[in-house]
Structure 1
Amino acid sequence: MADLTEPRPDPDRQPHLGMHAGELDGKWYAKYWNPVMAPLPEHVREALALGPQAPPLCLDLDAAATLGEAGYHDLENGYSLFDDGSMHIATLTRMPGVSPAMLDWWFWWHTTETQRYKLWYPRAHLYAEWAGGSVAPGTPYRERYIGGTSFVDEYVGNALGELAIGFVPPGRFGFRDDGLDPDEATAVCGVVGLSRLPLDWGYLIHHVRRVKEGSEMRSRFWMGGRYVTSREGASLTGELEKAADGLRRLGAEQARAMAVHCSQEMNHLAAFLPDIFDEFIRKESADEP
């Protein structure tokens, strides 16, 4: 993973929502830019209307690998709040025509250019920058992003987050390689931190499995409270302690906003992912000698 104790590059940049005139000029993927987003799915709206759910319904981080088992969990959509200030978020996204391998490709491909990142969630994504090693031709898509860090600026609700998402092997959360054949399933796993301070504040997993119509993504987040830790041995003093204290006490408004954010961005992605992936594959094949 990148050395996140150093300040991220380009500290004076001024990211913006949407695409400026000419921003997509010369980009083969420009046709996939669509700022009109579909309404939040009904099953997510119904879950959010219930408010915070009972903590015992939530998936323990230590049991994250059970996402790879058949069936569903008690909480597939919604959120819960814990006494230590942490929160758990769950969303289910149905993705017709999408394969797990397409998601592995996306989590590598979108990270290296802000315009690609904006395709994903036009109403909230502002900026993306990648810190990772070079990729050799033929490297499996999942291996292209694991070990790298995506620096992103995005809105969650009305709050601007400047984040560092370090992608880690699924085995860190107990997933077995023999259960993650990219044709049948994948698990995108990350440590979520701040990009300007050496502070981590949670974990994310997007488990994707084949279903008859395509795939379904079951997303889980464990954030705040007990999950707030300093990075690379940094001392929790001064500005860092102030930031950590705020992240330890997350509330229902932020939990709900994260559930909405995840559902909207993943449903929007599902609408164009099969087409953009197929076009990428065609272009890659045409470029081969």
Structure 2
Amino acid sequence: MTTDIKRRRILGAAPAFLAGMAAANAMPSALAAAPSSMAGCADAERTRITYYQVPMQKRWPVNEQLVQSKSYAKYFTKDLVAPMAMVNALEQGPLPAEFILPPTVAGLDKMMRTFESAPVSGYALVEEGPLAYAQSRHVFPGVTAKMFEWWFTWHPLESERYMLWFPYAHIHNSVDDPARLANSKLTYAERLYGNPNHITEYIGNLFLDGYISFDTPESFGVNPAALKTNGFTFNASGIISPADARNAPLVLMIHLGRDTPAGLEMINRYWIGTHSSFNRFKKFPDGARLSKAVTQRMGLDKAALENFAYEMALHDMTEFTCLGGFLPQIYREYGA
């Protein structure tokens, strides 16, 4: 039985359970010992997503046609779900001021101190900049840091693999040096860092055509001592720049993960737009001025950026829940 969709609720109200998903896993008993905010995103209660922007609706059958001949086509799905804890967090509207972080070194320091108490999902406008800001905290039962490292070196080699991650929104992914990315004799860092991914996808109605330059979290200002203290070993942080302005840092993206008894725990943060602190990125000199010009050219005023922040939070919640559902199975088949 379902209820009417109201206001911000763009997700189906009928809970779905991991047992009913193609990529379901048994819930580890250790989850009971996890913090309540953490358990909220790792429990079995899910709700089906029933609303997609029109460009995303049109993209799904195109992706289905492209993927169907691939050996991994069974992981491509139409029925996507999200954790109720994340849905409920977004239903509260923009984040309270105490949880809105700037993309500065001080903001990243606060992120590492407060991620366990922050809402599991959220969005806001950062007035200084301005910037869209989105955050999330996921727990993936049965998933490890090793699996995520494999995924980030495997999926960019074919765009159809990228489509599995978000069947309605992901279009293309390629990498500057595919031979280096595929070279298993190199470390994860040697394969991914300095080897940009070219992505095209939809974030809500917005078509994004950009390059992700991955690098160490320390290069963006995350304290290495905080990483070690909190046990974060997985990293897929980077700067996203528009394809037609590759020297302009439009997005600072932080993805950090750590293995826990309940599964991989991941914290994600996105700052989209422009900010004076963007000048600190060594690979993006004059970043503040260039990002401001790009933001203005794209028509990203404060209202558009706040909407972008909400769409980014929804996108993150959807794509990572989808990936976490099938990653253990696809890893055993192609990566182990």
Provide the residue aligned with 1:41 in structure 2. Answer: 83
2:172 aligned with 1:121, yes or no?
A: no
Provide the residue aligned with 1:287 in structure 2. Answer: none
Q: Secondary structure at the match of 1:34?
A: coil
Shift in Å at residue 216 of structure 1? 1.6
- Greater RCO, 1 or 2 (C-alpha within 8 Å, sep 6+): 1
TM-score by length of 1: 0.78
Q: How does 1:52-131 map to 2 (within 5 A)?
A: 52-61=94-103, 62=105, 63-64=107-108, 72-84=116-128, 85-131=130-176
Shift in Å at residue 121 of structure 1? 0.2
Distance in 2, Cα, partners of 1:108 & 1:132? 11
Q: Is residue 88–residue 220 contact of structure 1 (8 Å, CA) maintained in 2?
A: yes
2:204 aligned with 1:185, yes or no?
A: no
Shift in Å at residue 142 of structure 1? 3.9
Q: Structure 2: which amino acid aligns with 1:47?
A: A
Q: Secondary structure at the match of 1:264?
A: helix
Provide the residue aligned with 2:316 in structure 1. Answer: 262
Q: Structure 1: which amino acid aligns with 2:238?
A: G
Q: Structure 1: which amino acid aligns with 2:218?
A: G
Shift in Å at residue 144 of structure 1? 1.6
Q: Structure 1: which amino acid aligns with 2:76?
A: W
Provide the residue aligned with 1:246 in structure 2. Answer: 299
Structure 2 CA distance for partners of 1:234 and 1:54, relative to 1, 3 Å: closer
2:207 aligns with one of 160, 169, 181: 160
User: Which moved further from structure 2: 116-125 or 47-56?
Assistant: 47-56
Distance in 1, Cα, partners of 2:216 & 2:100? 23
- Structure 1 unaligned segments of length 5 or more: list them: 1-14, 283-289
Q: Is residue 105–residue 142 contact of structure 1 (8 Å, CA) maintained in 2?
A: no
Distance in 2, Cα, partners of 1:210 & 1:151? 28
Distance in 1, Cα, partners of 2:189 & 2:202? 26
Distance in 1, Cα, partners of 2:117 & 2:142? 24
Q: Is residue 125–residue 154 contact of structure 1 (8 Å, CA) maintained in 2?
A: yes
Aligned CA RMSD, in angstroms, stands at 3.3
Distance in 2, Cα, partners of 1:178 & 1:71? 12
Q: Is residue 253–residue 269 contact of structure 2 (8 Å, CA) maintained in 1?
A: yes
2:250 aligned with 1:201, yes or no?
A: yes
Q: Secondary structure at the match of 1:134?
A: helix
Shift in Å at residue 190 of structure 1? 0.6
Q: How does 1:207-286 map to 2 (within 5 A)?
A: 207-226=256-275, 243-244=296-297, 246-247=299-300, 249=302, 250-282=304-336
Q: Secondary structure at the match of 1:115?
A: helix
Structure 2 CA distance for partners of 1:67 and 1:208, relative to 1, 3 Å: farther
2:224 aligned with 1:176, yes or no?
A: yes
Distance in 1, Cα, partners of 2:226 & 2:85? 31
TM-score by length of 2: 0.68
Q: Is residue 85–residue 120 contact of structure 2 (8 Å, CA) maintained in 1?
A: no
Q: Structure 1: which amino acid aligns with 2:250?
A: W
- Structure 2 unaligned segments of length 5 or more: list them: 1-57
Q: Is residue 224–residue 247 contact of structure 1 (8 Å, CA) maintained in 2?
A: yes
Distance in 2, Cα, partners of 1:69 & 1:197? 34
Distance in 2, Cα, partners of 1:200 & 1:234? 6
Structure 2 CA distance for partners of 1:43 and 1:235, relative to 1, 3 Å: closer
1:32 aligns with one of 63, 69, 75: 75
Distance in 2, Cα, partners of 1:73 & 1:244? 37
Q: Structure 1: which amino acid aligns with 2:253?
A: L
Structure 2 CA distance for partners of 1:48 and 1:23, relative to 1, 3 Å: closer
Distance in 2, Cα, partners of 1:236 & 1:69? 30
Cα deviation, 1:172-193, whole Å, max 9, x if unaligned, reads 1334399569x96312111011
Q: Is residue 203–residue 221 contact of structure 1 (8 Å, CA) maintained in 2?
A: yes
What is the number of equivalent residue pairs in this alignment?
Answer: 264
